[in-house]
Amino acid sequence: WTCVAQNQYYSQCLQSPGTATDTTVGSVPTSATPSTTSASASPTGIAGSAPTVGPSHSVGKLPALGWNAWNAYGCNINEDKILAAANQFVSLGLADLGYEYINIDDCWSEMQRDTSTGRIVPDPTKFPNGISGVAEQVHALGLKMGIYSDAGTATCAGFPGSLGNEVLDATTFAEWGVDYLKYDNCNVPGNWSDSGTPPGGDWYNSNSAIRYRQMTAALNGTARPFQFNLCIWGAANVWDWGARVGHSWRMSGDSSASWNYIISILATNVQHLASIDFYSHNDMDMMEIGNGDLTIQEQRTHFAVWCFLKSPILLGTDPSNLNTTQLAIIKNTELLAFHQDSTIGKPAAPFTSSPSSSSPPEFYAGQSSKGMHVFIVNTGAAASKTFNFADVPGLGSGSFKVHDMWTGADVGMFAGSFTTTVDTHDTAAFLVTPA
């Protein structure tokens, strides 16, 4: 076995050619793996019979807004915590701004499937009313509910995965009233992994993509529209085929409440902005506002970057712990309007405004139904930042009105260029319209 990926939960290993087929990966049985996909099977052969149905377009046009339990609680989840977050969405006014998904992450089930039905069983201690009982209460608040599973034999924390049980699990989730599925990438048998570029270089036909395509078909086979998140950690060139399979896809490993993570995922995402449009969202992972030691300026950048690159925004803290300043950040209506614009699906993109040569780029411009927006991400110390209007795609020369999206106030009229001071690790956000 050659281990090609690992994290704190698992090692993903490929069996050497010519050796006997093992029936386990670590301690996780792979009996759910179809016999047609043995370690020696041809990926081309697998692709020939794989489903090609795309995700539902009844949902997922715009990047998701909501909450996920993982960054706040990890495995320490229960019904009360999920419902508390849902109720806080209403009481804090988040639901009125479009935040709608309340998503359960890993560790919600028992360790074994039901021996009679084969179904995944909710942990009765954590969820005494079952997942369907939680979904009913979430829906009663006017919100939607998400669940978590894995495109392997077990989840990252070792609970039952859905590989080989896609139809059964999708049917179960639909019966429970689930609206969103986060589908992870742990505990993948070697014969379902990719040891190199697939034949023809088409990653849509890779083993990794096919694992996710199977769940897409299963979800579509239910009578319920699911928003489908491919938690594939930026593997298998997912940005090239993700929109054919789901609505959003992770671009990296797990987030952390650190400035390094924010700028690293920004640097990664700007390389693949062509993949972003309606029903097609690069996922920069769940939010860390309210967690760790991020400064307020870093939290503003965290939110602004997720907004202008149109990543799903799933809050990842106990909402009751958010202070007034943090709530003001995530409730900024102008940034949310750019993120949720129903007429333009493309994100902001870097542009060059001399002198600027930072990595990741500091200057971004993007169109919305209201006009052209300019965002300035200061990756260093507090400094004066200048951009020329002629350098902004679509603006040209002349005089322009500059409006501050953070304060909601007009800054003034300017000719030729605009200069502003941006604090350390902060992001400035402006709407720029012709005079």
**Does pLDDT of 197 surpass 90?**
yes
* Given the residues 22, 202, 240, 254, the one annotated as active site: 254
Q: How far apart are CA 281 and CA 276, in angstroms?
A: 5
Q: Which of 211, 161, 172 is nearest to 37 (CA)?
A: 211
Task: Assign 359 a pLDDT band (cuts: 50, 70, 90).
Answer: confident
Q: So what's the pLDDT on residue 425?
A: 98
DSSP state, residue 223: S
**Pairwise CA distance, residues 249 & 271, whole Å:** 15
The question of whether 22 is a catalytic residue gets the answer no
What confidence score (pLDDT) does residue 90 get? 98
The Cβ-side half-sphere exposure at 98, using a 13 Å CA radius, reads 19
Share of the chain above pLDDT 90, in %: 85
Give the helix, strand, coil percentages of the chain, each rounded to 5.
30, 25, 45
**50-340 and 349-434 have identical folds:** no
Contact of 35 with 191, CB cutoff 8 Å? no
Reported as a pLDDT band with limits 50, 70 and 90, residue 98 is very high
Task: State residue 357's pLDDT score.
Answer: 62
As a whole number, mean pLDDT of residues 180-186 equals 98
Q: What angle do CA 107, 109, 110 make, to 5 degrees?
A: 110
pLDDT, one tens digit per residue, over 297-310 is 999 999 999 999 99
Is residue 254 annotated as a catalytic residue, yes or no?
A: yes
Measure Cα distances from 71 to 105, 242, 289, 315, 337 in Å.
Answer: 9, 24, 10, 9, 25
pLDDT given at position 2: 52
Q: What's the pLDDT at 15?
A: 40
Q: What is the pLDDT of residue 35?
A: 29
50-340 topology per CATH: TIM Barrel (3.20.20)
CATH superfamily of 349-434: Golgi alpha-mannosidase II (2.60.40.1180)
Sheet of 349-350: strands edge to edge? 349-350, 363-368, 371-377, 427-434, 399-404, 409-415
From CA 127, how far away is CA 124, in angstroms rounded? Answer: 5
Q: Is 324 exposed, middle or buried (0-12, 13-18, 19+ CB in 10 A)?
A: exposed
Distance CA 285, CA 255 (A): 6
Is the peptide bond prior to 34 cis by the omega test (within 30 degrees of 0)? no
Single out the catalytic residue among 184, 194, 283, 318.
Answer: 184
Does 245 score more than 50 pLDDT? yes
pLDDT in tens, 13-71: 444 433 333 323 332 333 333 323 332 233 445 777 899 999 999 999 999 999 999 99
- Distance between CA 286 and CA 146 in Å, rounded? 14
Q: State the pLDDT confidence band at 356, using cuts at 50, 70 and 90.
A: low
Nearest to 376 by CA among 416, 420, 417, 433: 420
| pLDDT tens-digit series, residues 383-429 | 999 999 999 999 998 999 999 999 999 999 999 999 999 999 999 99
Q: Give the start-to-end residue ranges of the domains of the chain.
A: 50-340, 349-434
Q: Give residue 195's pLDDT band: very low, low, confident or very high (50, 70, 90).
A: confident
Q: What is the pLDDT of residues 135-145, one digit of tens each?
A: 999 999 999 99
Number of CB atoms found within 10 A of residue 216's CB? 26
Average pLDDT over residues 222-239: 97
Residues in the chain, total: 435
